[in-house]
Every structure is written in structure tokens, then in C-alpha cells.
């Protein structure tokens, strides 16, 4: 049976999903939703997708539609997830699930009532580098003592990952910190019990803090230090250092190294080395198998509870 999908958000991350889905059997994107009809039509034509809309509600009316992937602005995530579930569709929403805890709680409550698959794009759970470390942890061969994480960008203007003007403002806490807060608890296999945050000056135009520092502690004693910046001129990206009882591992996107900077082969960890593709494969497998996916909205909600606590500490 082919799963028919709509993609909402034809920007940088939406295109990553379209490229990933090309590699997944028996899944077909039948509709693309975007803010600007002309640009969205261009993307749809490139990928051979017939239906184009500027309103998600129009796509949700398609009779054959089974599922939706949301790669839309952060501020729309929770409301659009609710709209998809209310329409009887499975939904995968890109990170973050929400930028207000109450909205995330509403999505989780509705998923429980509908029984539909609802998943959030916490890609770090699926990156082969982090999966390799996870397998060692689950096997009892490695336990995290500390994670040191740097999330660094150079973004003085409102641009997306393709260098195009963005219609919305990104956020260090509710978007970029969400990756690490969730991954730390997931890899430590223990809930976060302490969380502290400080932030730098607010940007006069963007209206957000451009620098932030976060400390976390899990119930089993592991700690995490996270530094985030939009002011950093390079290198760019997120870099993870796992310090454990039996080794040190450094993850840079899908590459993994030990503490001696020796590269670890992660090519056989999963069926692909593309974290977005693995994330999408999990979404569609959960739909077919009628089960809860890894990174379900219920599983990631504790991350947003922590982000909410951190936000209360910031001016």
C-alpha cells in the first residue's frame, strides 16, 4: 500500500524531506503547501507533484491523503499539527513541536485521543553518529558522564539554511536547544532534573538573544553544557562531545570521531547515512505497523517542559 503524503513548507528543510522520500518505497508526495504559490509550484514541478496549495486546509481535504510532514515556521507547528490530527491524518512536524509548552501539551493530548501517529523531527536521534553511540549505551558498554555541545551559526540577518530571506524569526532556545536537550536525556536514558540558562543581549532588529548558555543534569548524574550563538563566524554547525566512563566521542553531523580524532565508520549503522531520511523512514514504518514512533510527540514532550523551565529564567 502506498502512503500518500502532503508536505507543508517548501523551503530548505522541506526540500530535504522531498529528497529523502525519493529513496523510500511506497510513499508518494501528492501535495505541496507553501506561502508563495509561484515558488511552491516550481518545487512541485521539480519533484513531479501535481497538487499545490497556499493553505494547509486545502491539502487536508484531499480524499487520498494519509499523512502530512510539516516543515513550516516554528510558530505554526502546534496549530498545524492539531489541524492534521483533527482531519484524521498522521503527522510529522519538524523540530520544534511548539514554542509554548501548553501548545505542545495540546498536541500530545489530541494524539492520544485520535490514536494517529504524531512524530517530531528530533533528527539527532536518527543521525548515524548518535545512533552508534546509542548502541554502545544500550549495550552497557558506555555511560555518559558529560556532554559538551556547541551550536554555532553566523546569522546577523533573517536567512534560512539556503541563504534565502526568511518570513519568520528562528530561536536559539525553542529550536536549536531543543535538539540537544532531547538528545541528552535520550542518550543519558535519564530525565533532566536540573536546568539553568543565561542569555546575551537581545538583537535590536531580530528581537532575539544571539547568544545563550545552558547547563543540564540528569537524574542519573550525567551533565551537559550547551553553548549557542548566532554571532559565530565559523566553523558553523553543531558539535557534540560525549565524555563517558569508557571513552570520548565527537559527533560532527553524520561523522563520528574518538577522542584521538580517529574517524569511526558509521556507514553500516542503518540503511542510510542521511538523518532526515532515517527520520522519515521511521515515520512511515510507524504508520504501516500501527505503533508509536521513536521521537513521538509524547516522547519528546519532556524536552519542551525543560525548555519552558529555562525560559522562565530568562529576562
Q: What are phi and psi of 183, to 5 degrees?
A: -65, -40
Provide mean pLDDT across the span 72-77: 94
**Domain 3-122+275-296 is in which class?**
alpha beta
Q: What is the rounded average pLDDT of the residues 74-92?
A: 97
The grid cell for 93 is 512536524
- Between 164 and 114, whose confidence is greater? 114
CATH of domain 127-269: 3.30.360.10
Which pLDDT tens digit goes with each residue over 229-284? 999 998 889 999 999 999 999 999 889 999 999 999 999 999 999 999 999 999 99
pTM of the model: 0.94
| Digit-coded pLDDT (tens) for 99-114 | 999 999 999 999 999 9
* pLDDT for res 162: 53
Instruction: Return the higher-pLDDT residue of 258 and 160.
Output: 258
For residue 276, what are the CA distances in angstroms to 3, 117, 282, 304? 18, 17, 10, 21
pLDDT at 264: 98
Instruction: Give CA–CA dist 90/54, Å, rounded.
Output: 20
> Where along the chain do its domains lie?
3-122+275-296, 127-269
Distance CA 22, CA 29 (A): 9
Mean model confidence pLDDT for the chain: 94
pLDDT over 90, % of the chain:
89
CB 259 within 8 A of CB 248: yes
Q: What percentage of the chain has pLDDT greater than the value 70?
A: 96
Q: What share of the chain is helix, strand, coil (3-state, %, to 5)?
A: 35, 30, 35
Amino acid at each position: 500500500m502506498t502512503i500518500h503524503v502532503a508536505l507543508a513548507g517548501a523551503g530548505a528543510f522541506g526540500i530535504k524531506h522531498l529528497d529523502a522520500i525519493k529513496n523510500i518505497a511506497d510513499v508518494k508526495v501528492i501535495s505541496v503547501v507553501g506561502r508563495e504559490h509561484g515558488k511552491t509550484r516550481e518545487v512541485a514541478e521539480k519533484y513531479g507533484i501535481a497538487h499545490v496549495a497556499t493553505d494547509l486546509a486545502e491539502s487536508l481535504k484531499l480524499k487520498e491523503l494519509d499523512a502530512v510532514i510539516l516543515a513550516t515556521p516554528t510558530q505554526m507547528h502546534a496549530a498545524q499539527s492539531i489541524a492534521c490530527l483533527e482531519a484524521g491524518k498522521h503527522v510529522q512536524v519538524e523540530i520544534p513541536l511548539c514554542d509554548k509548552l501548553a501548545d505542545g501539551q495540546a498536541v500530545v493530548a489530541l494524539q492520544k485521543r485520535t490514536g494517529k501517529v504524531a512524530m517530531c523531527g528530533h533528527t539527532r536521534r536518527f543521525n548515524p553518529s548518535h545512533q552508534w553511540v546509542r548502541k554502545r549505551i544500550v549495550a552497557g558498554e558506555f555511560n555518559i558522564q558529560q556532554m559538551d555541545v556547541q551550536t554555532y551559526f553566523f546569522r546577523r540577518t533573517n536567512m534560512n539554511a539556503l541563504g534565502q530571506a526568511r518570513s519568520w524569526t528562528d530561536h536559539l532556545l525553542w529550536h536549536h536547544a531543543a535538539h540537544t536537550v532531547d538528545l541528552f536525556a535520550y542518550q543519558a536514558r535519564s530525565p533532566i532534573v536540573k536546568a539553568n540558562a543565561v542569555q546575551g543581549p537581545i538583537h535590536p532588529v531580530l528581537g532575539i538573544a544571539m547568544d545563550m548558555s545552558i547547563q543540564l543534569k540528569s537524574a542519573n548524574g550525567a551533565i551537559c553544557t550547551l553553548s549557542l550563538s548566532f554571532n559565530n563566524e565559523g566553523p558553523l554547525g553543531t558539535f557534540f562531545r560525549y565524555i563517558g566512563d569508557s571513552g570520548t566521542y565527537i559527533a560532527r553531523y553524520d561523522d563520528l570521531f574518538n577522542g584521538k580524532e580517529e574517524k569511526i565508520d558509521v556507514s553500516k549503522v542503518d540503511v542510510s547515512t542521511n538523518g532526515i531520511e532515517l527520520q522519515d523512514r521511521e515515520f512511515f514504518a510507524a504508520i504501516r505497523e500501527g505503533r508509536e514512533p521513536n521521537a513521538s510527540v509524547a516522547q519528546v514532550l519532556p524536552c519542551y517542559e525543560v525548555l519552558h523551565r529555562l525560559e522562565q529564567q530568562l529576562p
